Amino acid sequence: MPFDPVRISAPTEAPVTLDEVKAHLRVVERDDAGNALQHEDDALIQSYIDAAVSHLDGWSGVLGRCLVEQTWRADFAAFTQCMRLPLAPVLSIASVRYRLPDGTISTVAADNYALELQGGGSALVWFKSKFSRPSNLYERRPVSIEFVAGYGVASNVPAALKHAIMMMVAHWYQHAEAVGQVSFEELPFAVSALTSPFRRISL
């Protein structure tokens, strides 16, 4: 994969909610009707959630995979019969486009390629023999594949990853004075144990 992928649309929700994390931290306060009250540290806890998700999710995350559904674009220098996508798990292909020397952008018909899912959630796009791959392409990254990646909605994210996020937040929240700022080097070993089966091995 010669070029870093670009995120087209971000997830619409986080893998874990503020209320779920507050329950994990046991800082939930309720009114007489049983409704959760706003906590003085809500903004701080949410910032820790955002940091933990960012550490794991997407191209810059340590897992090399997406958590909640999001759309990415992968750019390539040329067509090959089999093109590996850089993130996992892939849900679907949104489009395959290429740019010609005159600047024209063409879209490959969906029946000319197929998505193949492999172990660990990695994915390949196979171009069928009937598709004549153009060779007169324009610029450094003329072929673009847009794809939808992630586990779908937040409730589909593996429990191990959700628990790892809550453990990271709990560590930072409970050691705020000692840590001083978000530090990934000081995380409990259990976080690594929970996330290691999902980490990117190779592209």
In sequence order, the 6+-apart residues with CB closer than 8 A to the CB of 127 are 79, 81, 82, 83, 108, 112, 113, 133
Give residue 65's pLDDT: 94
Looking at the DSSP bridge assignments, the partners of residue 9 are 71
- The answer to whether 55 touches 2, Cβ cutoff 8 Å, is no
- Of the candidate CATH numbers 1.10.3230, 1.10.357, 2.30.29, 1.10.3470, the domain formed by 9-65+154-198 belongs to 1.10.3230
Domain extent listing, the chain: 9-65+154-198, 70-149
Could you read off the pLDDT of 24-34 as tens digits, one per residue?
998 877 666 66
Reported pTM: 0.87
* Best CA proximity match to 70, nearest among 12, 16, 132, 113: 12
Give residue 158's pLDDT: 97
Give residue 32's pLDDT: 64
In sequence order, the 6+-apart residues with CB closer than 8 A to the CB of 37 are 29, 30, 31
In sequence order, the 6+-apart residues with CB closer than 8 A to the CB of 197 are 160
Q: What percent of the chain has pLDDT over 70?
A: 89
Give residue 182's pLDDT: 64
Confidence class of residue 118 from pLDDT cuts 50, 70 and 90?
confident
Confidence class of residue 39 from pLDDT cuts 50, 70 and 90?
confident
Could you read off the pLDDT of 76-117 as tens digits, one per residue?
999 999 999 999 999 999 999 999 998 899 999 999 999 999
Could you read off the pLDDT of 143-175 as tens digits, one per residue?
999 999 999 999 999 999 999 999 999 999 988
- Distance (Å, rounded) from C-alpha 123 to C-alpha 159? 22
107 three-state secondary structure? strand
- Using the structure block, give the residue that is written with the tokens 């892939």: 90
